[in-house]
Structure 1
Amino acid sequence: MGGEVREPLRELQECGLPEALEVMGERWSFMILRASFNGLHHFEEFLNELGIARNILSNRLSRLVEHGILDREPHPDDRRRIEYRLTEKGFDLLPAMLALRQWGQKYGEDFVTTDPVLVDERDRLPVGPVAILSHDGRLLGPADLNMVARKDLPADKRDWQEGQLPNARTAWVDEDEGGAAVAAE
């Protein structure tokens, strides 16, 4: 990754990474998120499954709710019980979680074989590596990447954002039989 332009590394507001780390930059937040992806919704479930201290769990759940990653909702059958549900913003962290997991499997001190295995629901085969894709879907490597000033993009493409395919809907939206968009869960 080279080029004539570099990110302003001292300017924390000019990059999404510091903000993401502020919200998710410690182990327990990721472990709670992983548990949420695995279907846990209740404080006691997180407590028992993760082996986390009660005060730390309470603090991390509050932060994840405060930052819009989890919603805090009363249980439909018992309003005294609280459920924590992933929001769209929370679901959008799945590729980052999976990339970190795959990196840990590849470079961890001990070879880690996961069981169960994350598979593509269509063909029930393990998912491939999280990758960097071009706007048209090509797989990119470090030599394919560069930084340019937004003003140097083609005029009709200056509103495009990294990490979003142009004219694409969110990955977490499906269509029902009538063609109406519905959030996928």
Structure 2
Amino acid sequence: MLPRTYETQNCSIARALEVVGDRWTLLVIRSAFEGVRRFDDFTEHLGVARNVLTDRLNRLCDEGILRKHRYSERPERHEYRLTRKGVELWPTIMTLLKWGDRYYAADGPPVVVRHRGCDGALTERLTCDSCGAPLGPTDVEAHPGPGAR
């Protein structure tokens, strides 16, 4: 990981970027929201080098965004689960997804996030476009969109 470059700035955005401000970290968090838990599954899902993934998972655990949960003693293996602090990144991830859909999804969104309750789509205000309910990570599921490959 690149060295921290924001330490001298008294800015909450800069401090947050020290933790989540690189490509692989946000993609690891996105995958965790999609239900990926195990190291090999992260590797397969993301196509990330093992050493890079190890670094990101360790950093996210150190920061309290993910926690390790042992699921096998021999060999010792762990799952990585979002903590409350990690779950609180959901609005940020979804807002970034909607922004990316608006500006970079020429063929349409690759993923459409839908309300489990009524199948309405997630709006930019993180509400359901059908019933108007405010939505959180447990209220939605992702489906392939028109831009899916």
Aligned partner of 2:133 in structure 1 is: none
Offset from partner CA, 1:34-56 (integer Å, 9 cap, x none): 11001111100001111001110
2:121 to 114, 126, 135: 126
DSSP 3-state at the match of 1:73:
strand
Q: CA deviation at 1:62?
A: 0.7
- 2:44 corresponds to: 48
CA distance in 2, matches of 1:100, 1:34: 11
Residue deviations 1:100-146 (CA, integer Å, cap 9, x gap): 1111110116343234x211222121111137xxxxxxxxxxxxxxx
Q: Provide the C-alpha distance between the structure 2 equivalents of 1:120 and 1:172, rounded to a whole number of angstroms.
A: 10
Distance 1:102 1:20, change over 3 A: same
What residue identity is the alignment partner of 2:46?
L
More contact order relative to length (CA 8 Å, sep ≥ 6): 1
Q: Name the structure where strand makes up a greater proportion of residues.
A: 2
**Shift in CA distance, 124/109, structure 1 to aligned 2, threshold 3 Å:** closer
Percent same amino acid at aligned positions?
Answer: 34
Q: CA RMSD in A?
A: 2.0
CA spacing shift, 1:40–1:19, aligned 2, 3 Å: same
**Contact 1:41–1:84, Cα closer than 8 Å, also in 2:** yes
Q: Which runs of 4+ in 1 moved over 6 A?
A: none
Q: Distance in 1 between matches of 2:70 and 2:105?
A: 42
Match of 1:12 among 5, 9, 12: 9
Task: Report the Cα distance in structure 1 between the residues aligned to 2:32 and 2:137, rounded to whole angstroms.
Answer: 16
Secondary structure at 1:124 match in 2: coil
**Which structure 1 residue ranges, 5 or more long, are not aligned?**
1-10, 132-170, 174-185
Aligned length: 120
8 A Cα contact 2:90 2:137, kept in partner: no
Structure 2: which amino acid aligns with 1:126? A
Cα pair 2:69 2:80 within 8 Å, conserved:
yes
Q: Distance in 2 between matches of 1:112 and 1:91?
A: 27
The structure number with the bigger radius of gyration is 1
Q: TM-score, normalised by structure 1?
A: 0.60
Q: Secondary structure at the match of 1:18?
A: helix
Match of 2:5 in 1: none
Secondary structure in 2 matching 1:85? strand
Which of 66, 72, 81 pairs up with 1:85?
A: 81
Q: Which residue of 1 aligns with 2:92?
A: 96
